[in-house]
């Protein structure tokens, strides 16, 4: 008897040895699947109120319907387009201003107080102002995204440049790099890792703001779709909107991570 | 007042007509003050063309400041520097090998070494040839596409040396380039540096706190005083070239010179320590 127990405890733990990583991956796939399963069962057995938490299967059905009519794609495309244009409109000036602020003390002295004063304003609270200035059309939506992207990119670009070891700027001066060369070959690449963090934060913020902006006076977009679903009490459609926004956020993170890997190959 | 003094100070790198007779670098009454603190005080020295000139001194004696003024990174408060450039020369006046990590982490070894040439818009063919040559001479050619984080400390410093040489300046400025390296790597790099230098005998200004290094590499050694940094003495090194840094250690002349420099330096190091202790500064 005791011999048998011994043999058992000595058994090699090979199945665990190869799996630390695999096991984590399996768990991270299994846990949401399990959650959906529990949700489905709870909804069908009436454990939860399906007026608020419709069964995943019925949400999926709505998703299929909405995408087959093309309605979902139309809203998704509208949101993505605003997100993209807003990202450029807010991100490019932020990048340039941020880097120049990092390089030049006087420029920093001018803009730092302005940014510090306006940054804490909740971006969503300026939506009425944006509607007033830009009207109900595309302008106000793009503006909101641009505002969301602007701050984290500008602030991170400044910080990124200021964190560059001064010795690199000395090298630039010693090797007679022009102002433009200094910007192009030292400030921009040196600050890029920190800038990428700012861009990721900015895109996240842009996604939040586009959803909010589209709920007010828009005729298209995922935010509008969610809002319209509330008005018609079509809860499944609301969930579809949330789901698609989550997917967009997830895919954008993957894309930005990939871009970062290509742009910043010198970081391990 | 300070501004008036600053205006008087000049760094001239204009073309000399009789460049052969003139020293490569003529430093006259050079001073640098930061507020009430005098870093460099009235340094006057001529450095000949093709000379390997060493500067030793206790830390904080202003030797780095002196080199930074020569590199155009600081303006002198007083005095002048004349760098004589051969007539019609297109070459840059100076290139610096910095202390510590100064190669760009975001550029490959090749792009780092090519930096100076690219900044002055040298033709592609020239960049290819010159950079290839110096990477080869420093044993880095097969790491041309590597990024600095993939290199050891010694290799990074070799990139920095290749970058300065590839820029083909009139004078090379070296600010304790080997101070962060271990003894073995240091020896190898000293050998390599001498070998590359023998090819074209550029004028070199080399700062070190390592007396052995000063004697191994230099034609003359200038000892600087503790704050403020003045010229204490200039010792010629008559060891024959080309030198073998390993063999030198057995040379009695080498030992005598090291001893001589050390005796001169020791007083200053002692004094620098007393100055620091008086200020309550711990180094």
Q: For chain A (length 268 residues), average pLDDT per consecutive 10?
A: 48 58 86 92 92 92 93 95 96 95 94 94 92 91 96 96 94 93 93 94 94 89 94 92 93 93 83
Q: Which one of B150, B168, B186 terminates a domain?
A: B168
Q: Which of A174, A176, A186 sits opposite B120 (nearest CB)?
A: A176
CB contact under 8 A, B104 and A264: no
Residue in chain B lying closest to A180 (CA): B119
B82 with B203, same domain: the answer is yes
The reply to whether A44 falls in a domain is no
A10 within some domain: no
Long-range contacts of B39-44 (CB under 8 A, 24+ apart): B39/B65, B39/B227, B39/B228, B39/B229, B40/B65, B40/B66, B40/B69, B40/B76, B40/B228, B40/B229, B41/B228, B41/B229, B41/B230, B42/B79, B42/B230, B43/B79, B43/B229, B43/B230, B43/B231, B44/B79, B44/B231
From B141, B168, B195, give the residue that closes a domain: B168
Note whether A132 contacts B: Cβ–Cβ < 8 A.
no
Q: Give the closest-approach CA distance of A262 to chain B in angstroms.
A: 12
Distance from CA of A106 to the nearest CA of B (A): 20
Number of separate domains in chain B: 2
pLDDT of amino acid B269: 86
Helix (H, G, I), strand (E, B) or coil at B235: strand
Alpha-carbon distance B39 to B76, whole Å? 10
Answer whether A174 sits within 8 Å of B101, measured CB to CB: no
Indicate whether A192 belongs to any domain: yes
Contacts of B95 in chain A (CB under 8 A): 174-175
Q: Are residues B183 and B264 in the same domain?
A: yes
For every one of its 283 residues, what pLDDT tens digit does chain B have, with 9 covering 90 and above?
333 344 444 555 544 444 456 788 999 999 998 888 888 888 999 999 999 999 998 887 788 999 999 998 999 999 989 888 877 778 888 999 998 889 999 999 999 999 999 999 999 999 999 999 999 988 899 999 999 999 998 899 999 999 999 999 999 999 999 988 888 889 989 999 999 999 889 999 999 989 999 999 999 999 998 888 888 899 999 898 889 988 888 899 999 999 999 999 888 888 888 888 887 755 4
Same domain, B268 and B209: yes
Interchain contact B256–A (C-beta under 8 A) = no
Residue range(s) defining the domain that contains residue B232? 2-93+169-279
A155 falls within a domain: yes
For residue B107, which residues of chain A lie inside 8 Å, CB to CB? 185, 189, 266
Give residue A80's pLDDT: 96
Question: CATH code at B70?
Answer: 3.40.50.300
Say whether both B125 and B87 belong to one domain. Answer: no
Helix H or strand E encompassing B54: strand B52-56
Q: Both B50 and B99 in a single domain?
A: no
Is the same domain home to B202 and B164?
no
Clarify whether residues B124 and B152 are in a common domain: yes
Report pLDDT for B20. 52
pLDDT score recorded for residue B226:
86
Q: How many domains are contained in chain A?
A: 1
Are residues B106 and A264, on separate chains, in Cβ contact within 8 Å?
yes
Please give the pLDDT value at position B61.
79
CATH code at A188? Answer: 1.10.3720.10
Using the 3D structure, point to which of B136, B168, B200 is the last residue of a domain: B168
> In this complex, do B116 and A175 lie within 8 Å of one another by their Cβ atoms?
yes
B257: burial class by Cβ within 10 Å (0-12, 13-18, 19+)? buried
Does A31 map to a domain? no
Residue A98 lies in a domain: yes
**Which residues of chain A neighbour B167 with C-beta distances below 8 Å?**
175
* Interchain contact A173–B (C-beta under 8 A): yes
Assign B74 to helix, strand or coil.
Answer: coil
**Do B119 and A177 make contact, defined as CB atoms within 8 angstroms?**
yes
- Which phi and psi (to 5°) does residue B246 adopt? -80, -45
Residues of A in contact with B106 (CB under 8 A): 189-190, 192, 264, 266
Same domain, B189 and B115: no
With CB atoms and an 8 Å threshold, state whether A190 touches B106: yes
Q: Do B115 and A171 touch (CB under 8 A)?
A: yes
- Give the minimum alpha-carbon distance from B172 to chain A in angstroms, rounded to a whole number: 11
Inform me whether the C-beta atom of residue B147 falls under 8 Å from chain A C-beta atoms: yes
pLDDT given for residue B36 in this prediction: 85
B106 close contact with A: CB closer than 8 A: yes
Tell me if A214 is assigned to some domain.
yes
Domain containing residue A103:
62-263
Contact B106 A177 (CB under 8 A): no
> What is the pLDDT at residue B267?
86
Return the structure tokens found at A55. 């069964």
Q: Do B258 and B127 share a structural domain?
A: no
Asked if B73's CB is within 8 angstroms of A185's CB, the reply is no
| Cα dist from A230 to A42, A51, A52, A212, A224, whole Å | 23, 12, 11, 14, 10
- Count of alpha carbons within 13 angstroms of residue B260, beta-carbon side: 17
Question: Are the C-beta atoms of residues A141 and A218 closer than 8 Å to each other?
Answer: yes
> Considering only CB atoms, which chain B residues are within 8 Å of A165?
101
Domain co-membership, B41 together with B176: yes
Contact B73 A174 (CB under 8 A): yes
B195 shares its domain with B244: yes
Out of B100, B106, B107, name the one closest to residue A167 (CB).
Answer: B100
Same domain, B152 and B210: no
Q: B90 in contact with A at a CB cutoff of 8 Å?
A: no
């Amino acid at each position: 008897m005791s011999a048998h127990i011994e043999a058992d405890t000595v058994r090699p733990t090979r199945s665990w040895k190869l799996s630390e990583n695999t096991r984590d991956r399996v768990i991270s796939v299994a846990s949401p699947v399990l959650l959906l399963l529990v949700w489905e069962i709870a909804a069908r057995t009436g454990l939860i109120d399906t007026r608020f938490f419709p069964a995943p299967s019925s949400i999926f059905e709505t998703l299929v319907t909405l995408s087959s009519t093309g309605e979902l794609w139309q809203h998704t495309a509208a949101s993505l387009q605003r997100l993209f244009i807003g990202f450029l409109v807010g991100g490019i000036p932020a990048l340039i201003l941020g880097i120049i602020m990092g390089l030049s003390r006087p420029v920093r002295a001018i803009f730092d107080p302005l940014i510090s004063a306006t940054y804490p304003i909740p971006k969503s609270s300026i939506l009425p102002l944006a509607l007033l200035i830009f009207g109900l059309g595309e302008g106000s939506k793009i503006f909101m995204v641009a505002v969301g992207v602007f701050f984290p990119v500008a602030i991170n670009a400044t910080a990124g440049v200021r964190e560059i070891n001064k010795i690199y700027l000395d090298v630039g001066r010693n090797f007679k790099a022009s102002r433009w060369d200094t910007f192009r070959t030292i400030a921009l690449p040196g600050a890029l890792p920190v800038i990428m963090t700012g861009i990721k934060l900015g895109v996240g913020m842009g996604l939040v703001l586009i959803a909010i902006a589209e709920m007010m006076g828009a005729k298209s977009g995922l935010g509008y779709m969610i809002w319209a679903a509330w008005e018609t009490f079509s809860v499944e459609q609301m969930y579809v909107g949330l789901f698609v926004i989550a997917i967009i956020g997830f895919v954008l993170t993957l894309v930005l991570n990939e871009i970062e890997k290509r742009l910043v190959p010198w970081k391990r | 007042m300070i501004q008036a003094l600053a205006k008087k100070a000049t760094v001239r790198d204009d073309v000399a007509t009789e460049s052969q007779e003139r020293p490569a670098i003529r430093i006259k009454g050079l001073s640098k003050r930061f507020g009430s603190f005098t870093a460099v005080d009235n340094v006057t020295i001529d450095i000949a063309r093709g000379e390997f000139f060493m500067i030793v001194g206790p830390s904080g004696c202003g030797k780095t400041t002196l080199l930074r003024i020569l590199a155009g990174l600081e303006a002198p408060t007083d005095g002048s520097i004349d760098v004589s450039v051969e007539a019609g020369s297109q070459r840059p006046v100076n290139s610096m090998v910095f202390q510590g990590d100064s190669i760009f982490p975001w550029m490959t070894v090749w792009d780092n070494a090519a930096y100076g040439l690219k900044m002055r818009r040298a033709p592609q063919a020239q960049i290819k040839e010159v950079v290839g040559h110096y990477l080869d001479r420093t044993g880095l050619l097969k790491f041309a596409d590597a990024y600095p984080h993939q290199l050891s400390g010694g290799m990074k410093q070799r990139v920095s040396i290749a970058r300065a040489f590839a820029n083909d300046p009139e004078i090379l400025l070296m600010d304790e380039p080997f101070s962060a390296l271990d003894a073995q790597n240091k020896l190898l790099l000293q050998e390599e540096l001498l070998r590359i230098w023998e090819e074209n005998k550029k004028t070199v200004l080399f700062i070190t706190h390592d007396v052995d290094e000063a004697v191994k590499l230099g034609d003359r050694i200038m000892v600087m005083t503790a704050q403020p940094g003045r010229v204490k003495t200039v010792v010629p090194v008559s060891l024959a070239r080309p030198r073998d840094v390993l063999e030198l250690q057995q040379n009695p002349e080498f030992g005598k010179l090291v001893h001589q420099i050390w005796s001169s330096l020791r007083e200053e190091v002692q004094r620098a320590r007393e100055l620091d202790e008086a200020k309550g500064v711990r180094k």
